[in-house]
Amino acid sequence: MPLHIHPTIEATLHDLADYFVGKAREAITARGRFVVALSGGSSPKKLYELLASSSYRDQIAWPEVYFFFGDERNVPRTDPQSNYLMAKTALLAPLGIADDHIFAFRTELAPTAAAAAYTTEINAFFSPKPARFDLVLLGLGDNSHTASLFPHTEVLRATTAEVQAVFVPEVDMYRLTFTAPLINQARAVAFLVFGADKAAAVRRVRQGPRNAEEFPAQLIMPSAGERRWFLDAPAAADLAG
């Protein structure tokens, strides 16, 4: 079922954590490793803490897991806005994940150089095959952005599976982000969204008229993979049907 709606945030997080475990086991059995791109922002921290908790930490062979980031703020890794810092604190450090299994953006470089370096790193990791993540975790902003695909930015028009730097006037900073074609090569994509302030965005992205310039998350449609939404009831409240 592509739409997972739960009465509480906690139930939503547990469902997504179970899904994460299932995808990890499936990938490790089939290919010997699980390659995941983490999301940032305000929503996923609780998910990462749950995965690192005693309820989940023994359910996955963590040494077989490789961590990338679907987007990043162009800030040092020590900055409170850093997606890497959040994931490191909530998930990677508590699980003792080895540094060579964590692929962070090189934000000490200029934005375009950092994006190009990350594209190179991703392609080298998957070489000789095309980059295909087992799972890409995503959030959704109340303006319908996902990853750092913000409304009316140039990166929305990307046709290549790569990482790009984009200046986002509404947050007044550079972001580094997977393009939609790169996300859409994934085997699975999971959105985690909660809260009433996201309800309109969820409705517009799922049921609104097609307008990816306004609602960039509409671009996310894996070409040969699955797309699932994990929502709490307030985030799903405006959906019809």
Ligand X SMILES: O=C1O[C@H](COP(=O)(O)O)[C@@H](O)[C@H](O)[C@H]1O
Name the residues that contact ligand X, by CB under 6 A: 39-43, 70-71, 83, 138-141, 146-148
Q: Cα separation of 219 and 185, whole Å?
A: 12
Q: Which residues contact 78 (CB under 8 A, 6 or more apart)?
A: 85
Q: How far is the CB of 174 from ligand X (least distance, A)?
A: 13
What residue is closest to ligand X based on CB? 41
Rounded to an integer, what is the distance from CA 185 to the centroid of its chain?
13
Q: Between residues 23 and 198, which has the closer beta carbon with respect to ligand X?
A: 198
Q: Between residues 44 and 60, which has the closer beta carbon with respect to ligand X?
A: 44
Q: How far is the CB of 210 from ligand X (least distance, A)?
A: 20
Q: How far is the CB of 69 from ligand X (least distance, A)?
A: 8
CB atoms within 10 A of CB 53: 11
Q: By C-alpha distance, which of 26, 23, 49, 50 is closest to 37?
A: 23
Tokens of 38: 């983490």
Q: Which residues pair with 146 in a beta bridge?
A: 149
Q: Between residues 197 and 226, which has the closer beta carbon with respect to ligand X?
A: 197
Q: How far is the CB of 3 from ligand X (least distance, A)?
A: 18
Q: How far is the CB of 213 from ligand X (least distance, A)?
A: 18
In this structure, what DSSP letter does residue 135 have? E
In this structure, what DSSP letter does residue 88 have? I
Q: Between residues 28 and 167, which has the closer beta carbon with respect to ligand X?
A: 167
Q: Between residues 40 and 225, which has the closer beta carbon with respect to ligand X?
A: 40
